[in-house]
Chain A
Amino acid sequence: MKVSWREWLEVLITSIIKVSGYSAILFVLVIFLFLMIEGLPTLGEVSLENLFGRRWYPIEDYFGLLPLLGGSLLVTLGAILVAVPFGLGTAIYIAEVAPRWAREVLKPFVEIMAGVPSVVLGFIGILVFVPRLRVLLDLPTGLTGFTGALLLGFLSIPTIVSVAEDALDAVPRSYRDAALALGATQWQTIWRVTLPAARSGVITAVMLGLGRAIGETMAVMMVTGNAPVVPGSPLALFAPLRTMTATIAAEMGEVATGSTHYHVLFFVGIVLFLISLVVNITASAVVFRQRKRAERILS
């Protein structure tokens, strides 16, 4: 009797563990389901013409998503232009160039960078950064897409550094030795052997950094000025703009549950969800050649 009780316990625990294992799939599906339930009524309530219009002015029922999409894309692009050179440069330095002590100093700093809440960065942005930028660039306001792009770039750097560094670490030592033995300098080895060998991991790093930037909310809401304008040229980066994330965060608190505005905000959520899905599936498709790296992306 005792033995069978033990067996039952084992079976029970094993199934609990298995269900938990599969829960991640369940959560992704449930998240999507609830976004759809609350967001899809939009398509019945707002005409496509309106939805793809250039005006976001919910009080008068203008729900054009173009300014929000444009704002998000412009800020993210700016952020990536900041984050990629600094992120990859730091990753290469840590993995290939830095002496041991410098690595021991840099790695915790990158972790701290990843840990600082975005609301704290937004706060510093408002108090320290925005007023100085306004004076420096002689703008009417320092609350601009550019300010947001700089902060977002900063927030994406840790992701890029840690993933890219893992990718560089995963390149076998023998590759480098072979290059050096053939007379290449260490510099040539980095650019012509190590980096190309780690290419897929580096692409993943950039993708995940991009995902981080496009989904960031608080910092970007606090410093971009929140003006829903369709960016006409890259110069719009130096004027106030409005991202998708900031729109949801700023307006959801004030809308009536079940109203058209409420549904449209969920619709914006669906757009964000799908973008992050595409970015992450692309990133993981590249990364699955080396599973160990996939595990580290998240840590």
Chain B
Amino acid sequence: MATQQSLTTKRLVTGSSRRNGVQRLGFAFLTLIAVLTVLPILFVVAYIFLQGFQTLSFEFLFAFPSNGMRSGGIWPAILGTVYLTFFTTLFAVPVGIAAAIYLAEYAPDNNATRVIRIAIINLAGIPSIVYGLFGLGIFVLFFSLGTSILSASLTLAIMTLPVVISTTEEALRSVPQEFRVVSISLGATKWQTVQRIVLPQSLPGILTGVILGLERAAGETAPILFTGAAFYLPTLPGSPLDATMALPYHLYVISTQVPGMPVGIQYGTALVLLILVLGLNLLATIIRSRARARRQW
């Protein structure tokens, strides 16, 4: 784009200055819009960081809430979010990767495949609160799992599935066709080719997709509202069938439901959640760019 731009600039020297002026004004306007778009997020992240980092301490991270959550730490919420994210990964990743392998390597180009793709797009578009209702109906009540880590994770897993599928499929498709042709011509079966050639080659891309899925699961509140999140628990969950506190829900609770909440604890909680989510985001970005730099094809 940069070279094209300089070319255009040269052309413009001979063009009329009025058109030139319109363009300059237009580009300045677009630049302004782009800056105005990213400034708020910069502000939000910086503000939460500045307001929250004084609260961060060993005690805040690893202690239980006390005094009606108005003091103490947020350890049960942190641990709960780790549990939820772990079980979500456990359910979503195998199915998601297998589905992506089907779409990238096996699926014929026909109407059935098209329906699968439309279903995935729809799955990605269903409002998160509707996932919450669905999880309540099927896991909590129908399968009698109760409001539990298991119910919440299963709900989050189905919600995360489209992210995992689409990023994994893209990673698989980026492996050059020649690799597959060579493998098959050497007598390998289809699955052997996938397992020993395509999957290893696309591993960084798949990892990126999985982490982006986790990021989404870790930050969501609405799907766990009625499926597994608890307002306050005096003990840590003992099994996947127990309810749990979770960071996003905890932030919602202490910023709307508890009167007289110290602002420091609120910002501290928001900061921990933000660090967790943006940390995962950063990890995905690093894996992606390192894989791109190292790629030999």
Contact = CB atoms under 8 A, between A and B. Distances in A.
Interface in A274-299: 276-277, 279-281, 283-284, 288, 291, 294-299
A108 B285 contact: yes
Interface in B219-250: 219-222, 225-226, 248-249
Contacts of A284: 117-118, 121
Nearest to A190: B26
A185 B107 CA distance: 45
Contacts of B63: none
A297 to B, nearest CB: 7
Chief secondary structure at chain B's binding surface: helix
A48 interface: no
Contacts of B281: 111-112, 115
Contact of A113 (B38, B128, B161, B220): B38
B33 A28 contact: no
B190 interface: yes
Per DSSP, chain A at the interface is helix
Nearest to B252: A119
Interface residues of A, number: 102
B190 A14 contact: yes
A235 to B, nearest CB: 25
A23 B119 CA distance: 9
B262 interface: no
A211 B130 CA distance: 13
A217 B222 contact: yes
A117 B129 contact: no
A217 B222 CA distance: 7
16 contacts: A27-B161, A30-B134, A97-B27, A108-B285, A110-B38, A112-B281, A115-B277, A115-B278, A119-B273, A180-B7, A183-B15, A187-B19, A218-B222, A272-B127, A279-B125, A281-B122
In order of increasing CB-CB distance, the 10 nearest A-B pairs are: A215-B127, A21-B102, A117-B219, A89-B33, A20-B98, A298-B166, A187-B23, A280-B125, A34-B137, A217-B222
